[in-house]
Structure 1
Amino acid sequence: MGSVVDFFDYIIVGGGTAGLTVANRLTEDADIKVLVIEAGQDRTSDALVQIPGLVLGMYGKPEYDWNFSSIPQSGLNNRIINQPRGKQLGGSSAINFMMLLFPPRGSLDAWAALGNQGWDYDSLLPYLRKFATVHPPPQAAKDTLGLAYHDDSLVGNGPVQVSYSEGYSTPNAVWVETFAKLGLKMKTDPRTGKGLGAFQQGGSINPATKTRSHAASAHYTPEIASRPNLTVFTETTVKKIVFDTSKAEPVAVGVLIRSKDGSEKTLSGGEIILAAGALMSPQILELSGIGSRSLLESLNIPIIVDNSNVGENLQDHPITCQSFEVNPGVPSGDMLRDPNVLNALLQQYQDGGKGPLGQSSISVAYVPLVDEEGVYSQNAKKALFASYDEHVQTQDRKMIRKLLEEPDEPSVQYFLFPSQAHTVLHDPPSMADYLLPTSPENYLTVMTMLNHPFSRGSIHITSDDVDELPTWDPNFNSNPLDLEISARHVQFVETLLRTSPFGDIFKPNGARIPQVRGDSLENAREVVRQSQVSCFHPSCSLSMKPRERGGVVDTRLRVYGTKGLRVVDASIFPLVTAGNIQTMVYAVAEMAADIIKEDRKVFNNQGSGNF
């Protein structure tokens, strides 16, 4: 930890996935002083963070997880659903399932088409390569899965470590084989921006140690932490951003913090970078006076910038979970309910990280619009969208429709999850309650994640108290097209179950969660309403777009109406990308660091203005 100084060139609010990435890159220049402020603790040496297979042990515990609950969701039978958020150094990269998916080209080209020049696939590609080192799959993985499409040359040399397991088993193999049988064989490496079909994603796991590779282990190593120009405060809360309002545009000049002991003080910075995530960056902006006039006035918060887009346009990947009982002898993570099994696996892990606890065995598939008959024709797709035309009128929804009508754009991402999921719960205390094996049978779960939802949610404060979590409303299925698309993909799951060899691993007429069969469109809709939750990818709540089109930040990630204030995290996404978004948060942070460095050069050369 660097020495404490009175003035920092950059103050980064949030020591999570984006914040630590930016801090590492900026402090590569020894002349730049950076402060990172994190509300959580440094838990990088904690076994629950380090051991991939113990991830469930963090959910709902306040030393790891902010643990959001939604308001009742009318599109989900009025269920209240859960959302874990990382409350520690490394943020949500320290509590996620370590899935490393690369977005298709169309997802990112849509960003540029929404008015963000320089943010297309080709512009972001160098950063998708820079953030990680992808280790080639071991021979054991190739023997089980084939992996003929895998391109070993797409490695990169970044600090996040991505690897493939040695322990893939029959379920992973028959998953890939069955999709191929149904005409969805992966032919290209999906990391190239193209590809449909089932494949094996890499996990953010260091293959040398079999430990989680996350933002803190990658971007806050002992070597980086010892830089004299980097200071990191943990267990420190940012109450608000402080502005100098004497200029024509308000200038962010510092932050009001509360330390662990309860004392408060203002710290001064040349630029404030907000990196608190898609649910808490909007909270801090609103507490600081940037948001909708009516909301701020109702809470007696002085208005710095009236922008009603703050906290709106929230997007998230809804995921429908269907668990099916497996035949005896088929591997299932549900066996961990037996403490003797868990202890044996922990013993095995102590021996150099061996065994399933050091691995990520989730297989996935990128799939275009399908139903029980298989892949939709172009005409059938167009007909479906045409029948919901009045729900696709905004610019970004038209963009999604255009994407989904493309023959090679994945409408959903399927997951083969190695144990049971109880997402039918009405108001679970935490994410762990969804995934702990409370049913006695052994299951595998097929999850259907909607890549490009048409629904839009929101996140807003309801109090001027920083300790009161803002109100999260994902608003799932508020746009009826989302329910229709998810339901059709649930129908396709029934087809998967009827197809050998995948169907052969499940008990005939075995137990299911939920019990409804998705064998008709109406039943499939009910499966969605009963068992859909968040895949914990909230984003887009402070979108990068032209201000008049709903934007909060410009293409340099500067907050409209202010100087000296930027946002760097998933909240700036204009559209949520296909696939798990961890990859994109790293890529955005890497690109943002270069933008900030460029702007600093310009500022220094001019000797005036604001960077």
Structure 2
Amino acid sequence: MGSVIDFFDYIIVGGGTAGLTVANRLTEDADVKVLVIEAGQDRTNDALVQVPGLVVGMYGKPEYDWNFSSTPQPGLNNRIISQARGKQLGGTSAINFMMLLFPPRGSLDAWGALGNKGWDYESLSPYLRKFATVHPPPQAAKDTLGLKYHDDSLVGNGPVQVSYSEGYSESNAAWMETFAKLGLEMKTDPRTGKGLGAFQQGGSIDPATKTRSHAASAHYTPEIASRPNLTVITETTVKRIIFDTSKAEPVAVGVLVRSKDGSDKTLSGGEIILAAGALMSPQILELSGIGSRSLLESLDIPVIVDNPNVGENLQDHPITCQSFEVNSGVPSGDVLRDPNVLNALVQQYQDGGKGPLGQSNISVAYVPLASGEGVYSQDTKKTLFASYDEHVQTQDGQVIRKLLEESDEPSVQYFFFPSQTHTDMHDPPSMADYLLPTSPENYLTVMSMLNHPLSRGSIHITSDDVDKLPIWDPKFNSNPLDLEISARHVQFVEMLLRTSPFGDIFKPDGARIPQVKGDTLEDAREVVRQCQVCCFHPACSLAMKPRERGGVVDSRLRVYGTKGLRVVDASVFPLQTAGNIQTMVYVAAERAADIIKEDRKARV
């Protein structure tokens, strides 16, 4: 853990995906002293963290998960949505599904177009190569899936380990073949910034040990932990940032923390880096007096910077889940409901990581705007957007419209998930309840994730007590165009089910969750309202944009109106990217570390 030093050059609030990445990179310079403060525990050696197939066992448990629940969502039949957030060293990279996708070029060029110099695809490409090591797929994966588009030379020698499974099934192969039949065969490696169609993404799993590769195992190895200039303290809560307000602009000079023993103390730093994630970094800013004046005054919090953009602009990837009963003999993860099967697989895993518990077998597809008739033509896309013209008039809306009207921009990412889901629950205790197999039949699930949602949610405190979770309101489908696009992609799923060989996996007229069949547009909308949830990807709540356009941080991640304070996590994304965001949190953190190093050099 290193020795506790009285003064640190940098204090990082949050030892999660971004925080540990930045801490590792900054302490490569032996003269730079860094403190990381994490509210959760270090559970790096815990079997639930390490074993990929046991991930659901962490959800809802306070030693792993902050376990957020949303406000009731009018756009989802007033359901309350559950959201897991990592409460441990490594943050959400320690509890996610380990899916490692690379964003298309258009997603990142949109960041630059919103006024962020140095944050377009070309500028971020070096970090897309730097953050991970992608191991070549084993021969068994090539035999089952083909993988002709895969380029073994891409993505070099970074600390996060990414690998492919040896256990893809004939169902995964049928997924690839069916998309190809529909004109959506992947022809280029999607890690190059272009690519449409079905493909096999890697998982953040170390192929040598078959264990989860996350921020703590990658960026806080025993070697890094032994650096005398790095101190990591866990089970310590940051209550607020402390400012020197005697200057023209308030200067962040330290943090007030509650230690493991319950006592409060102040820690001093040269710069404070907030990395508590898209739901909790806004909470800490508001508790510290940065946010909307009216909100802060209503809670008797002294206003340091009046910026009503704090906690607004929140974007998440809404994901609609449709589960279908499979024919007997088709492999399904639902067999894990039998404790004897689970125990046998645990035994198998203990023999050198063998078997399905050491793998991630979710296949995916990037698909442009489509419906049950197939991929939309340019004219059909334009007609759809024109009919919702008033709902795309914001700057974000115009950028997204331009993106989605491109012929090669995926509007949706499909997931082929290996078991049943119950996302139609009204108020689940935790995310585990969506995923535990409670129906007796065996299922596989197709999920449709909206890459570029137009709806904007919020996250705000309701109390000056740090232990009271802020109110999370994703406002799913508050922009009606989101519902329209999601519903059309539900219709596309119904077409997939009618297409061989994928359709041959499922029982004709078998059970389905939800029971509504999404063939007509109105029924497809109802599937969305019943079964759409969040996809673990909250972002953009402290957006990197010009302040007058809704920004909280500038393109060097400095909080407007302050000195000595930055934010580095998914909250600074100006716009949600296509694909699972784990990759982009690492990329943003790697880029941020270089920016911080550059700014330090400029000061010296």
Aligned residue identity for 1:134: V
Runs (4+) of structure 1 moved beyond 4 Å? Answer: none
**Any idea what SS the aligned residue of 1:381 has?**
helix
Match of 2:493?
A: 493
Aligned counterparts of 2:64 and 2:104: Cα–Cα separation in 1: 32
Aligned counterparts of 1:155 and 1:131: Cα–Cα separation in 2: 8
Match of 1:600?
A: 600
Aligned counterparts of 1:416 and 1:134: Cα–Cα separation in 2: 21
**Any idea what SS the aligned residue of 1:112 has?**
helix
**Any idea what SS the aligned residue of 1:538 has?**
coil
Match of 1:463?
A: 463
Listed one character per residue, the Cα deviations across residues 381-425 of structure 1 (whole Å, up to 9, x for unaligned) are 000000000001110110000000000000000000000000000
Match of 1:410?
A: 410
Aligned counterparts of 1:528 and 1:548: Cα–Cα separation in 2: 35
Match of 1:571?
A: 571
Matches within 5 A, 1:229-244: 229-244=229-244
Listed one character per residue, the Cα deviations across residues 20-72 of structure 1 (whole Å, up to 9, x for unaligned) are 00000000000000000000000000000000000000000000000000000
Match of 2:113?
A: 113
Aligned residue identity for 1:13: V
Aligned residue identity for 1:382: K
Q: Does 1:518 align with 2:518?
A: yes
Shift of 1:2: 1.2
**Any idea what SS the aligned residue of 1:270 has?**
strand
Match of 2:348?
A: 348
Give the TM-score taking structure 2 as reference length: 1.00
**Any idea what SS the aligned residue of 1:2 has?**
coil
**Any idea what SS the aligned residue of 1:472 has?**
strand
Aligned counterparts of 1:209 and 1:65: Cα–Cα separation in 2: 25
Match of 1:484?
A: 484
Aligned counterparts of 1:156 and 1:553: Cα–Cα separation in 2: 31
Match of 1:132?
A: 132
Indicate conservation of the 8 Å contact 2:417/2:447, yes or no: yes
Aligned residue identity for 1:84: A
**Any idea what SS the aligned residue of 1:314 has?**
coil
Shift of 1:117: 1.0
**Any idea what SS the aligned residue of 1:308 has?**
coil
**Any idea what SS the aligned residue of 2:343 has?**
helix
Q: Does 1:81 align with 2:81?
A: yes
Aligned counterparts of 2:329 and 2:274: Cα–Cα separation in 1: 49
Match of 2:281?
A: 281
Q: Does 1:440 align with 2:473?
A: no
Q: Does 1:558 align with 2:558?
A: yes
Aligned residue identity for 1:346: V
Aligned counterparts of 2:600 and 2:2: Cα–Cα separation in 1: 22
Aligned counterparts of 1:155 and 1:428: Cα–Cα separation in 2: 39
Match of 2:531?
A: 531
Where in structure 2 are there 5+ consecutive unaligned residues? none
Listed one character per residue, the Cα deviations across residues 471-523 of structure 1 (whole Å, up to 9, x for unaligned) are 00000000000000000000000000000000000000000000000010000
Match of 1:609?
A: none
Identity value in percent: 88
Match of 2:421?
A: 421
Aligned counterparts of 1:536 and 1:480: Cα–Cα separation in 2: 22
Aligned counterparts of 1:202 and 1:5: Cα–Cα separation in 2: 40
Aligned counterparts of 2:141 and 2:452: Cα–Cα separation in 1: 31
Matches within 5 A, 1:127-526: 127-526=127-526
Aligned residue identity for 2:420: Q
Aligned residue identity for 1:191: R
Q: Does 1:16 align with 2:16?
A: yes
Aligned counterparts of 2:440 and 2:124: Cα–Cα separation in 1: 46
Listed one character per residue, the Cα deviations across residues 174-195 of structure 1 (whole Å, up to 9, x for unaligned) are 0000000001000000000000
Aligned counterparts of 1:163 and 1:238: Cα–Cα separation in 2: 36
Aligned counterparts of 1:233 and 1:118: Cα–Cα separation in 2: 33
Aligned counterparts of 1:554 and 1:370: Cα–Cα separation in 2: 36
Aligned residue identity for 2:67: N
Shift of 1:155: 2.9
**Any idea what SS the aligned residue of 2:167 has?**
coil
Match of 2:57?
A: 57
Q: Does 1:542 align with 2:542?
A: yes
Indicate conservation of the 8 Å contact 2:130/2:155, yes or no: no
Listed one character per residue, the Cα deviations across residues 539-575 of structure 1 (whole Å, up to 9, x for unaligned) are 0000000000000000000000000000000000000
Aligned counterparts of 1:5 and 1:485: Cα–Cα separation in 2: 53
Match of 1:94?
A: 94
Aligned counterparts of 2:182 and 2:549: Cα–Cα separation in 1: 41
Aligned counterparts of 1:297 and 1:499: Cα–Cα separation in 2: 59
Aligned counterparts of 1:265 and 1:426: Cα–Cα separation in 2: 42
Aligned counterparts of 1:354 and 1:208: Cα–Cα separation in 2: 11
Indicate conservation of the 8 Å contact 2:72/2:79, yes or no: yes
Q: Does 1:32 align with 2:32?
A: yes
Shift of 1:171: 1.0
Aligned counterparts of 2:510 and 2:421: Cα–Cα separation in 1: 15
Give the TM-score taking structure 1 as reference length: 0.99
Aligned residue identity for 1:559: V
Aligned counterparts of 1:38 and 1:10: Cα–Cα separation in 2: 14
Shift of 1:334: 0.2
Aligned residue identity for 1:385: F
Aligned counterparts of 1:396 and 1:168: Cα–Cα separation in 2: 38
Indicate conservation of the 8 Å contact 2:244/2:252, yes or no: yes
Aligned counterparts of 1:534 and 1:394: Cα–Cα separation in 2: 23
**Any idea what SS the aligned residue of 1:301 has?**
coil
Aligned counterparts of 1:118 and 1:175: Cα–Cα separation in 2: 38
**Any idea what SS the aligned residue of 1:179 has?**
helix
Indicate conservation of the 8 Å contact 2:128/2:155, yes or no: no
Aligned counterparts of 2:260 and 2:314: Cα–Cα separation in 1: 31
Aligned residue identity for 1:578: A
**Any idea what SS the aligned residue of 1:161 has?**
strand
Aligned residue identity for 1:549: R
Aligned counterparts of 1:330 and 1:216: Cα–Cα separation in 2: 36
Match of 2:4?
A: 4
**Any idea what SS the aligned residue of 1:524 has?**
helix
Aligned counterparts of 2:56 and 2:579: Cα–Cα separation in 1: 21
Where in structure 1 are there 5+ consecutive unaligned residues? 605-611
Indicate conservation of the 8 Å contact 2:242/2:288, yes or no: yes
Aligned residue identity for 1:237: T
Aligned residue identity for 2:580: N
Shift of 1:260: 1.1
**Any idea what SS the aligned residue of 2:9 has?**
strand
Aligned counterparts of 1:371 and 1:567: Cα–Cα separation in 2: 39
Aligned residue identity for 1:557: L
Aligned counterparts of 1:595 and 1:325: Cα–Cα separation in 2: 50
Aligned residue identity for 1:312: E
Match of 1:66?
A: 66
**Any idea what SS the aligned residue of 2:309 has?**
coil
How many residue pairs were aligned? 604
**Any idea what SS the aligned residue of 1:10 has?**
strand
